[in-house]
Amino acid sequence: MKSRVYFIETKSGEALQSLAEKTKRLFDSLDFSSSVKKGDLVAVKTTFGEKGNIGHLKPPIVRAAVEKIKEAQGRPFVVETNTLYMGQRTNAIDHLLHALHQGFTTESLGAPIIIADGLLGENDYAVPLNKGLTKTAYIAGAAKATSGFVFLSHVTGHMLTGLGATLKNIGMGLASRGGKLAMHSGVIPQIIKDKCTACGICAEFCSARAITIKDYAIINPKECIGCGECLAVCPYNAVKISWDENIVNLQKKIAEYCLAVLKGKERRSLFFNFLIHVTEQCDCMDRAYQPAFEDIGILASRDPVAVEQASVDLVLEHVGEDFFRKSWPGIDYHAQIDYAAEIGLGQKDYQLVDVSEEKGRRIPAGKR
Protein backbone atom coordinates (compact mmCIF):
# COMPACT_ATOMS: atom_id res chain seq x y z
CA MET A 1 0.00 0.00 0.00
CA LYS A 2 1.24 3.49 -0.83
CA SER A 3 2.11 5.85 2.03
CA ARG A 4 -0.25 8.75 2.47
CA VAL A 5 1.12 12.27 2.27
CA TYR A 6 -1.29 15.06 3.21
CA PHE A 7 -0.92 18.45 1.59
CA ILE A 8 -2.27 21.92 2.29
CA GLU A 9 -1.65 24.76 -0.11
CA THR A 10 -0.20 28.04 1.21
CA LYS A 11 0.44 31.40 -0.40
CA SER A 12 3.53 33.61 -0.18
CA GLY A 13 3.10 36.20 2.56
CA GLU A 14 0.40 34.19 4.31
CA ALA A 15 -0.08 35.15 7.98
CA LEU A 16 1.78 32.99 10.49
CA GLN A 17 -1.46 32.30 12.34
CA SER A 18 -2.96 30.88 9.15
CA LEU A 19 0.10 28.66 8.64
CA ALA A 20 -0.24 27.50 12.25
CA GLU A 21 -3.89 26.61 11.74
CA LYS A 22 -3.03 24.65 8.60
CA THR A 23 -0.31 22.80 10.47
CA LYS A 24 -2.90 21.79 13.08
CA ARG A 25 -5.29 20.55 10.42
CA LEU A 26 -2.58 18.25 9.10
CA PHE A 27 -2.25 16.73 12.57
CA ASP A 28 -5.95 15.88 12.36
CA SER A 29 -5.54 14.39 8.87
CA LEU A 30 -2.82 12.12 10.27
CA ASP A 31 -5.01 11.10 13.21
CA PHE A 32 -2.18 12.13 15.50
CA SER A 33 -4.07 11.61 18.77
CA SER A 34 -4.26 7.86 18.11
CA SER A 35 -0.48 7.56 18.51
CA VAL A 36 -0.16 9.43 21.83
CA LYS A 37 -0.99 8.12 25.28
CA LYS A 38 -1.64 10.34 28.27
CA GLY A 39 1.64 11.66 29.66
CA ASP A 40 3.79 10.58 26.68
CA LEU A 41 6.88 12.71 26.16
CA VAL A 42 6.77 13.96 22.57
CA ALA A 43 9.68 15.94 21.11
CA VAL A 44 9.10 18.60 18.47
CA LYS A 45 12.28 18.87 16.39
CA THR A 46 12.87 22.09 14.53
CA THR A 47 15.70 24.56 14.08
CA PHE A 48 15.96 28.19 15.14
CA GLY A 49 17.96 29.32 12.10
CA GLU A 50 21.26 31.16 12.15
CA LYS A 51 21.32 34.83 13.19
CA GLY A 52 20.27 36.95 10.22
CA ASN A 53 18.50 34.06 8.49
CA ILE A 54 14.84 34.78 7.74
CA GLY A 55 13.64 31.54 6.16
CA HIS A 56 13.45 29.24 9.20
CA LEU A 57 10.09 28.13 10.65
CA LYS A 58 8.70 30.66 13.10
CA PRO A 59 7.46 30.12 16.69
CA PRO A 60 3.68 30.10 15.94
CA ILE A 61 4.16 27.05 13.68
CA VAL A 62 6.09 25.20 16.38
CA ARG A 63 3.45 26.24 18.91
CA ALA A 64 0.76 24.68 16.72
CA ALA A 65 2.50 21.30 17.07
CA VAL A 66 2.91 21.81 20.82
CA GLU A 67 -0.80 22.55 21.22
CA LYS A 68 -1.82 19.45 19.25
CA ILE A 69 0.42 17.29 21.47
CA LYS A 70 -1.17 18.79 24.58
CA GLU A 71 -4.63 18.27 23.10
CA ALA A 72 -3.72 14.56 22.75
CA GLN A 73 -2.64 14.63 26.45
CA GLY A 74 1.04 14.21 25.61
CA ARG A 75 3.87 16.23 27.19
CA PRO A 76 5.56 18.27 24.48
CA PHE A 77 9.03 19.77 24.46
CA VAL A 78 11.00 21.42 21.66
CA VAL A 79 14.41 19.95 20.82
CA GLU A 80 17.46 21.02 18.87
CA THR A 81 21.09 19.91 18.96
CA ASN A 82 24.34 21.83 18.91
CA THR A 83 26.10 22.46 15.62
CA LEU A 84 29.45 21.02 14.67
CA TYR A 85 30.77 24.33 13.41
CA MET A 86 31.63 27.16 15.78
CA GLY A 87 28.96 29.80 16.10
CA GLN A 88 25.97 30.77 18.18
CA ARG A 89 24.58 27.23 18.27
CA THR A 90 27.73 25.35 19.25
CA ASN A 91 26.94 24.94 22.95
CA ALA A 92 23.66 24.82 24.85
CA ILE A 93 24.10 28.17 26.61
CA ASP A 94 24.71 30.21 23.47
CA HIS A 95 22.17 28.11 21.60
CA LEU A 96 19.39 28.82 24.10
CA LEU A 97 20.26 32.53 24.21
CA HIS A 98 20.17 32.54 20.41
CA ALA A 99 16.76 30.82 20.44
CA LEU A 100 15.46 33.54 22.78
CA HIS A 101 16.84 36.19 20.44
CA GLN A 102 14.98 34.54 17.54
CA GLY A 103 11.72 34.65 19.53
CA PHE A 104 11.62 30.98 20.61
CA THR A 105 10.66 31.21 24.28
CA THR A 106 8.68 28.92 26.58
CA GLU A 107 5.93 31.52 26.36
CA SER A 108 5.86 31.77 22.56
CA LEU A 109 6.10 28.00 22.09
CA GLY A 110 3.95 26.84 25.00
CA ALA A 111 6.68 24.32 25.92
CA PRO A 112 10.30 24.35 27.07
CA ILE A 113 13.29 24.00 24.77
CA ILE A 114 15.83 21.27 25.49
CA ILE A 115 19.18 21.15 23.76
CA ALA A 116 19.07 17.41 23.31
CA ASP A 117 22.80 16.64 23.20
CA GLY A 118 23.70 18.56 26.36
CA LEU A 119 25.95 21.47 27.14
CA LEU A 120 28.67 20.71 24.60
CA GLY A 121 27.10 18.04 22.44
CA GLU A 122 28.55 15.29 24.60
CA ASN A 123 25.28 13.82 25.92
CA ASP A 124 24.34 10.90 23.70
CA TYR A 125 23.37 7.25 23.61
CA ALA A 126 24.68 4.57 21.31
CA VAL A 127 22.37 2.72 18.95
CA PRO A 128 23.91 -0.46 17.46
CA LEU A 129 22.92 -0.41 13.81
CA ASN A 130 25.30 -2.47 11.66
CA LYS A 131 23.72 -0.98 8.59
CA GLY A 132 25.73 0.13 5.58
CA LEU A 133 28.40 2.55 6.76
CA THR A 134 27.21 2.88 10.36
CA LYS A 135 27.98 0.25 12.97
CA THR A 136 26.87 2.37 15.91
CA ALA A 137 24.99 5.66 15.78
CA TYR A 138 25.38 8.31 18.48
CA ILE A 139 22.06 10.02 19.10
CA ALA A 140 21.33 13.08 21.25
CA GLY A 141 20.56 11.92 24.80
CA ALA A 142 17.20 13.65 25.27
CA ALA A 143 15.81 11.77 22.28
CA LYS A 144 16.07 8.44 24.11
CA ALA A 145 13.17 8.77 26.54
CA THR A 146 10.72 10.28 24.08
CA SER A 147 7.72 8.23 23.01
CA GLY A 148 7.67 9.84 19.59
CA PHE A 149 8.65 12.85 17.53
CA VAL A 150 7.13 15.58 15.42
CA PHE A 151 9.68 16.75 12.87
CA LEU A 152 8.99 20.23 11.50
CA SER A 153 11.36 20.70 8.56
CA HIS A 154 11.86 23.76 6.41
CA VAL A 155 12.72 22.60 2.89
CA THR A 156 15.80 24.25 1.37
CA GLY A 157 18.71 23.43 -0.88
CA HIS A 158 21.87 22.30 0.87
CA MET A 159 25.55 22.70 0.07
CA LEU A 160 26.47 19.12 1.03
CA THR A 161 23.35 17.02 0.46
CA GLY A 162 21.62 19.03 -2.27
CA LEU A 163 18.38 19.01 -0.28
CA GLY A 164 17.80 19.91 3.35
CA ALA A 165 14.44 18.69 4.64
CA THR A 166 13.03 15.82 6.71
CA LEU A 167 15.87 13.29 6.32
CA LYS A 168 18.49 15.82 7.30
CA ASN A 169 16.39 17.15 10.18
CA ILE A 170 16.14 13.64 11.62
CA GLY A 171 19.53 12.09 10.90
CA MET A 172 21.86 15.03 11.30
CA GLY A 173 19.46 17.05 13.45
CA LEU A 174 19.31 14.54 16.30
CA ALA A 175 22.87 13.25 16.19
CA SER A 176 25.18 14.28 19.01
CA ARG A 177 28.50 15.99 18.26
CA GLY A 178 30.18 12.57 18.04
CA GLY A 179 27.50 11.38 15.63
CA LYS A 180 27.80 14.49 13.48
CA LEU A 181 31.56 14.10 13.34
CA ALA A 182 31.21 10.46 12.31
CA MET A 183 28.90 11.43 9.45
CA HIS A 184 31.06 14.34 8.27
CA SER A 185 34.37 12.52 8.68
CA GLY A 186 34.81 11.77 4.97
CA VAL A 187 34.04 15.30 3.78
CA ILE A 188 37.33 17.11 3.29
CA PRO A 189 37.06 19.73 0.53
CA GLN A 190 39.82 20.43 -1.93
CA ILE A 191 40.98 23.77 -3.29
CA ILE A 192 41.29 24.19 -7.06
CA LYS A 193 44.52 26.19 -7.11
CA ASP A 194 43.97 27.67 -10.59
CA LYS A 195 40.66 29.17 -9.57
CA CYS A 196 41.62 30.37 -6.09
CA THR A 197 42.38 34.11 -5.89
CA ALA A 198 43.50 33.90 -2.25
CA CYS A 199 40.73 36.33 -1.33
CA GLY A 200 40.44 34.80 2.15
CA ILE A 201 36.65 34.66 2.36
CA CYS A 202 36.64 30.91 3.05
CA ALA A 203 39.11 31.32 5.92
CA GLU A 204 36.92 34.02 7.40
CA PHE A 205 33.91 31.69 7.41
CA CYS A 206 35.73 28.51 8.46
CA SER A 207 34.69 28.09 12.09
CA ALA A 208 37.26 25.30 12.60
CA ARG A 209 40.06 27.66 11.55
CA ALA A 210 41.24 24.95 9.21
CA ILE A 211 42.15 27.28 6.31
CA THR A 212 45.29 29.35 5.88
CA ILE A 213 45.83 31.64 2.94
CA LYS A 214 49.13 31.72 1.12
CA ASP A 215 49.30 31.88 -2.69
CA TYR A 216 46.02 30.01 -2.49
CA ALA A 217 43.84 28.61 0.31
CA ILE A 218 45.22 25.59 2.12
CA ILE A 219 42.96 23.29 4.16
CA ASN A 220 44.40 21.43 7.13
CA PRO A 221 42.63 18.04 7.03
CA LYS A 222 43.35 17.48 10.74
CA GLU A 223 41.36 20.58 11.69
CA CYS A 224 38.61 20.39 9.05
CA ILE A 225 35.24 19.18 10.42
CA GLY A 226 33.71 18.73 6.98
CA CYS A 227 30.97 21.35 7.43
CA GLY A 228 31.14 22.47 3.79
CA GLU A 229 30.86 26.19 4.61
CA CYS A 230 33.89 27.05 2.44
CA LEU A 231 32.14 25.45 -0.53
CA ALA A 232 29.10 27.63 -0.01
CA VAL A 233 30.91 30.95 0.42
CA CYS A 234 33.68 30.80 -2.20
CA PRO A 235 32.70 33.30 -4.92
CA TYR A 236 35.08 31.73 -7.47
CA ASN A 237 33.96 28.08 -7.26
CA ALA A 238 37.45 27.20 -6.15
CA VAL A 239 36.33 24.66 -3.54
CA LYS A 240 35.21 21.22 -4.52
CA ILE A 241 34.12 18.12 -2.70
CA SER A 242 34.44 14.73 -4.28
CA TRP A 243 30.92 13.66 -5.12
CA ASP A 244 31.51 9.92 -5.23
CA GLU A 245 33.73 9.40 -2.23
CA ASN A 246 32.36 11.96 0.16
CA ILE A 247 28.90 13.21 -0.54
CA VAL A 248 27.20 9.91 -1.30
CA ASN A 249 28.62 8.44 1.89
CA LEU A 250 27.43 11.45 3.88
CA GLN A 251 23.95 11.11 2.40
CA LYS A 252 23.90 7.42 3.24
CA LYS A 253 25.11 7.94 6.80
CA ILE A 254 22.39 10.55 7.39
CA ALA A 255 19.75 8.05 6.22
CA GLU A 256 21.25 5.38 8.48
CA TYR A 257 21.15 7.78 11.42
CA CYS A 258 17.45 8.37 10.67
CA LEU A 259 16.90 4.65 11.30
CA ALA A 260 18.74 4.92 14.62
CA VAL A 261 16.79 8.00 15.79
CA LEU A 262 13.42 6.46 14.95
CA LYS A 263 14.15 2.94 16.19
CA GLY A 264 11.06 1.76 18.09
CA LYS A 265 9.28 5.09 17.51
CA GLU A 266 8.50 4.72 13.81
CA ARG A 267 4.76 4.43 14.37
CA ARG A 268 4.64 7.32 16.79
CA SER A 269 6.37 10.00 14.74
CA LEU A 270 5.13 12.56 12.23
CA PHE A 271 7.08 14.31 9.50
CA PHE A 272 6.21 17.76 8.14
CA ASN A 273 7.91 19.45 5.19
CA PHE A 274 7.26 23.17 4.70
CA LEU A 275 7.60 24.34 1.09
CA ILE A 276 7.58 27.94 2.27
CA HIS A 277 10.30 30.53 1.61
CA VAL A 278 12.39 27.89 -0.17
CA THR A 279 15.98 29.00 -0.75
CA GLU A 280 19.05 27.55 -2.42
CA GLN A 281 21.03 27.74 0.84
CA CYS A 282 19.95 26.21 4.14
CA ASP A 283 18.91 28.05 7.32
CA CYS A 284 22.38 27.54 8.84
CA MET A 285 23.62 30.39 6.68
CA ASP A 286 23.64 33.75 8.46
CA ARG A 287 22.11 35.69 5.60
CA ALA A 288 18.63 36.86 4.68
CA TYR A 289 18.05 34.95 1.44
CA GLN A 290 14.88 35.76 -0.47
CA PRO A 291 12.69 32.84 -1.56
CA ALA A 292 13.53 31.32 -4.94
CA PHE A 293 9.88 30.85 -5.91
CA GLU A 294 6.34 31.33 -4.61
CA ASP A 295 5.31 29.29 -1.60
CA ILE A 296 3.69 25.94 -2.36
CA GLY A 297 2.37 24.50 0.88
CA ILE A 298 2.84 22.12 3.79
CA LEU A 299 3.16 18.34 3.52
CA ALA A 300 2.77 15.84 6.36
CA SER A 301 3.09 12.10 6.58
CA ARG A 302 3.92 9.21 8.88
CA ASP A 303 6.50 8.12 6.29
CA PRO A 304 9.71 10.24 6.16
CA VAL A 305 10.70 8.97 2.73
CA ALA A 306 7.28 9.54 1.17
CA VAL A 307 7.08 13.11 2.48
CA GLU A 308 10.54 13.85 1.07
CA GLN A 309 9.70 12.38 -2.34
CA ALA A 310 6.34 14.18 -2.50
CA SER A 311 8.03 17.49 -1.62
CA VAL A 312 10.59 17.35 -4.42
CA ASP A 313 7.91 16.19 -6.86
CA LEU A 314 5.73 19.18 -5.94
CA VAL A 315 8.63 21.59 -6.41
CA LEU A 316 9.31 20.11 -9.83
CA GLU A 317 5.65 20.44 -10.76
CA HIS A 318 5.29 24.03 -9.52
CA VAL A 319 8.63 25.45 -10.60
CA GLY A 320 8.87 23.52 -13.87
CA GLU A 321 12.46 22.42 -13.26
CA ASP A 322 14.48 20.52 -10.69
CA PHE A 323 15.30 23.49 -8.48
CA PHE A 324 17.53 21.58 -6.05
CA ARG A 325 19.54 19.89 -8.79
CA LYS A 326 19.91 23.19 -10.62
CA SER A 327 21.07 24.89 -7.41
CA TRP A 328 23.61 22.16 -6.61
CA PRO A 329 24.38 20.49 -9.96
CA GLY A 330 27.14 18.28 -8.57
CA ILE A 331 24.92 16.67 -5.94
CA ASP A 332 22.26 14.10 -6.67
CA TYR A 333 19.84 14.49 -3.76
CA HIS A 334 17.74 11.62 -5.19
CA ALA A 335 20.51 9.26 -4.11
CA GLN A 336 19.70 9.91 -0.47
CA ILE A 337 15.95 9.40 -0.89
CA ASP A 338 16.60 6.20 -2.87
CA TYR A 339 18.97 4.88 -0.23
CA ALA A 340 16.58 5.76 2.61
CA ALA A 341 13.90 3.67 0.85
CA GLU A 342 16.40 0.87 0.20
CA ILE A 343 17.29 0.50 3.90
CA GLY A 344 13.64 0.42 4.92
CA LEU A 345 13.13 3.90 6.34
CA GLY A 346 9.98 4.32 4.25
CA GLN A 347 8.79 4.11 0.70
CA LYS A 348 8.90 6.41 -2.31
CA ASP A 349 5.46 5.37 -3.50
CA TYR A 350 2.92 7.72 -2.04
CA GLN A 351 -0.62 8.93 -2.41
CA LEU A 352 -0.95 12.71 -2.17
CA VAL A 353 -4.12 13.73 -0.35
CA ASP A 354 -4.89 17.40 -0.86
CA VAL A 355 -6.68 18.79 2.18
CA SER A 356 -6.35 22.45 1.20
CA GLU A 357 -9.00 24.76 2.59
CA GLU A 358 -10.95 25.20 -0.63
CA LYS A 359 -11.13 21.45 -1.15
CA GLY A 360 -11.82 20.86 2.55
CA ARG A 361 -14.83 23.13 2.30
CA ARG A 362 -16.17 21.45 -0.79
CA ILE A 363 -19.80 20.49 -0.30
CA PRO A 364 -20.18 16.71 -0.10
CA ALA A 365 -21.73 15.28 -3.26
CA GLY A 366 -24.87 14.08 -1.46
CA LYS A 367 -25.68 17.59 -0.20
CA ARG A 368 -25.37 19.53 -3.43
- Mind giving me the DSSP string for 132-165? TTEEEEEEEGGGTT-SEEEEEEE-EEETTTEEES
Which lies closer to ligand SF4 via its Cβ, residue 224 or residue 341?
224
Cβ contacts of residue 217 below 8 Å, gap of 6+?
191, 196, 198, 200, 202, 203, 211, 230, 238, 239
Q: Which of 140, 219, 276, 314 binds ligand SF4 (CB under 6 A)?
A: 219
Query: Per CB under 6 A, does 175 bind ligand SF4?
Result: no
Q: Which of 210, 275, 276, 284 binds ligand SF4 (CB under 6 A)?
A: 210
300 and 26 Cβ atoms separated by less than 8 Å: yes
- Mind giving me the DSSP string for 251-312? HHHHHHHHHHHHTTTGGG-EEEEEESS--SS-TTSSS-PPPSS---EEEEES-HHHHHHHHH
Query: Per CB under 6 A, does 208 bind ligand SF4?
Result: yes
Which lies closer to ligand SF4 via its Cβ, residue 89 or residue 277?
89
Q: Which of 8, 150, 170, 202 binds ligand SF4 (CB under 6 A)?
A: 202
Which lies closer to ligand SF4 via its Cβ, residue 41 or residue 199?
199
Query: Per CB under 6 A, does 282 bind ligand SF4?
Result: no
Cβ contacts of residue 201 below 8 Å, gap of 6+?
233, 234, 235
Query: Per CB under 6 A, does 198 bind ligand SF4?
Result: yes
Which lies closer to ligand SF4 via its Cβ, residue 110 or residue 121?
121
Sign of CA dihedral 340, 272, 267, 47: positive
Query: Per CB under 6 A, does 200 bind ligand SF4?
Result: yes
Query: Per CB under 6 A, does 211 bind ligand SF4?
Result: yes
d(CA 355, CA 24): 12
d(CA 174, CA 65): 18
Which lies closer to ligand SF4 via its Cβ, residue 111 or residue 239?
239
Which lies closer to ligand SF4 via its Cβ, residue 175 or residue 208?
208
At its nearest, how many Å lie between ligand SF4 and the CB of residue 245? Answer: 15
Q: Which of 111, 170, 183, 225 binds ligand SF4 (CB under 6 A)?
A: 225
The secondary element (H helix, E strand) that includes residue 229 is: helix 229-233
d(CA 170, CA 149): 10
The secondary element (H helix, E strand) that includes residue 129 is: strand 124-131
Query: Per CB under 6 A, does 197 bind ligand SF4?
Result: yes
Farthest CA pair distance, the chain: 76
d(CA 260, CA 267): 14
How many residues touch ligand SF4 under the rule CB under 6 A: the total is 28
Region of 198 please: left (phi>0), alpha (psi -120 to 50) or beta: left
Q: Which of 5, 224, 282, 306 binds ligand SF4 (CB under 6 A)?
A: 224
Which lies closer to ligand SF4 via its Cβ, residue 229 or residue 280?
229
Query: Per CB under 6 A, does 206 bind ligand SF4?
Result: yes
At its nearest, how many Å lie between ligand SF4 and the CB of residue 266? Answer: 33
Query: Per CB under 6 A, does 218 bind ligand SF4?
Result: no
Q: Which of 19, 69, 239, 285 binds ligand SF4 (CB under 6 A)?
A: 239
From 46-54, 115-123, 206-214, 339-347, give the range in contact with ligand SF4 by CB under 6 A: 206-214
Sign of CA dihedral 48, 52, 56, 59: positive
Q: Which of 100, 120, 201, 316 binds ligand SF4 (CB under 6 A)?
A: 201
Binding region for ligand SF4 (CB under 6 A) = 189, 191, 196-202, 206, 208, 210-211, 213, 216-217, 219, 224-230, 234, 236, 238-239
